[in-house]
Chains A and B, each alone.
Chain A
């Protein structure tokens, strides 16, 4: 059972990450499988070292559950092989689109919040579940624009997809905060309206605040106070142990700064769960 605070396995962090001792409450690592499928050399070694030291979870970047293009079957085969080897309890990827007509944007592009888009996501999540043969968790993305036209609230769109696809939810606390600030809604009300029983994992990250007030989800800044607070709120709503990832993908600071963020997240996590642990609530299971 994977729970507690995790960190993304990134090459620039690897050396210090593997040198950490038990005093750092780092319980697991997250990998992007695209960095490891069909890949030898440094990445093969990195993965082997990580597996020997930490439990792993996988978080994909290329499935784009809202894409209209059929999955690349070769890539799916490679992915399935890796996930099977790693024996991960679920695989997560994003509610977005990232390719069309065989052209890949290599970014997470926003979907409109309407029925046509949700049906595409539901069908594709089913395809992914069938192909990978493990549960799928979906992450809602940060978005900066959506197409004009009729739409439903994001939380309603997300909930419909989760319910009808029977997918799990990777709830990204930073994404909720960034979207709430950029699009003007209450982040706590958004979280409270989601089917939280489907949450299997959380993400927490930093973002960049532009001069014009727009917040960009960079994963390259320290976690801000508001996101720490929203994380605590989310944990109180969940009231059960889940794996929580500190995402840092860019602008890497001294490892001590990341360690301090991990410790702070862990302190919140343990404080919130202390009453539940006393009453022995089971950890998330599938």
Chain B
């Protein structure tokens, strides 16, 4: 067995489903060989258990660990950064039919919420600032400038409220998860449906805010009356206060700082 064969055997065995040990011919001591498999898996699983604590509590250690084993076998780590490997597990688990069949209906939402918190906690970015690079105070002519450390989650269950996760009733929820500028913790709040859709589109288009408001209201079958505009003004004020929205900039320059 040459060097390449040895390295492939050890790593393949470390991530394979089952008890491992297929490659033990490469080593003089099979028991010691299995130690590496155990250490590699324990480290990665331990980090996933920290990142997806709520999901783990919901589905139980055994189901969680089994799903993680399938993840490693089907998608062995492809990033030199361990945090990326853990984040990718959240996306895998959300689609893992075997896990979902064993788990509560809330689990996919929990996985999404915890994956967002995990990735937003460390996402690096250049923060757009008021008064810089054309960013100005909010008006309806400009294109919305969002906090680049932001994700809009469409949840079927409001899992962010969870203490007892099993008792969360189904309720469609648009959750803005973000890390404010200058603050090291991830925060979140529920967005009103019209505003949530505006935030989503603002991440995809360069349209002026006024145009977005009109098209979203039409799409949602809502009349742009005084009441709706007041609600929208409240949403925008809250988003500015919380650091979800930074301001606006001329539409042609709006694409640079998208999340």
- For the complex, is A72 an interface residue (Cβ under 8 Å from B)? yes
**Min distance, Cβ B69 to any Cβ of chain A, angstroms:** 15
Binary contact readout A98-112 vs B (1 if CB under 8 angstroms, 0 otherwise) = 011111111101011
A105-162 interface with B by 8 A CB criterion:
105-107, 109, 111-112, 116-117, 120, 144-149
The interface size bin for chain B is 35 or more
Binary contact readout B15-37 vs A (1 if CB under 8 angstroms, 0 otherwise) = 10000000001111100110110
- For the complex, is A43 an interface residue (Cβ under 8 Å from B)? yes
* Given A44-B124, A144-B32: A106 and B149 interface contact (C-beta under 8 Å): no
**Min distance, Cβ A269 to any Cβ of chain B, angstroms:** 31
**Does A148 lie within 8 Å of B82, measured CB to CB?**
no
- For the complex, is B77 an interface residue (Cβ under 8 Å from A)? yes
A36-68 interface with B by 8 A CB criterion:
37-45, 62, 67-68
Q: How many residues on the A side are at the interface (Cβ–Cβ under 8 A)?
A: 38
Distance of A120 Cα from B29 Cα, bound (Å): 24
Point out the residues of chain A lying under 8 angstroms from B163, CB to CB: none
Which residue of chain A has the shortest Cβ distance to B32 in the bound complex? A145
Distance of A120 Cα from B40 Cα, bound (Å): 23
In-complex Cβ contact of A106 among B44, B122, B185 (8 A): B44
**Min distance, Cβ B98 to any Cβ of chain A, angstroms:** 23
**Min distance, Cβ B127 to any Cβ of chain A, angstroms:** 9
**Does A145 lie within 8 Å of B33, measured CB to CB?**
yes
**Min distance, Cβ B84 to any Cβ of chain A, angstroms:** 10
**Does A120 lie within 8 Å of B3, measured CB to CB?**
yes
**Does B29 lie within 8 Å of A43, measured CB to CB?**
no
In the assembled complex, 12 residue pairs joining A and B whose CB atoms fall closer than 8 Å, in A order, are: A37-B81, A41-B121, A41-B149, A43-B122, A68-B7, A75-B80, A97-B7, A117-B3, A145-B29, A146-B28, A147-B6, A148-B26
Known A-B contacts: A39-B83, A41-B122, A147-B1. Give 9 more (CB < 8 A).
A42-B185, A102-B78, A103-B11, A103-B76, A104-B78, A109-B10, A145-B27, A147-B28, A148-B25
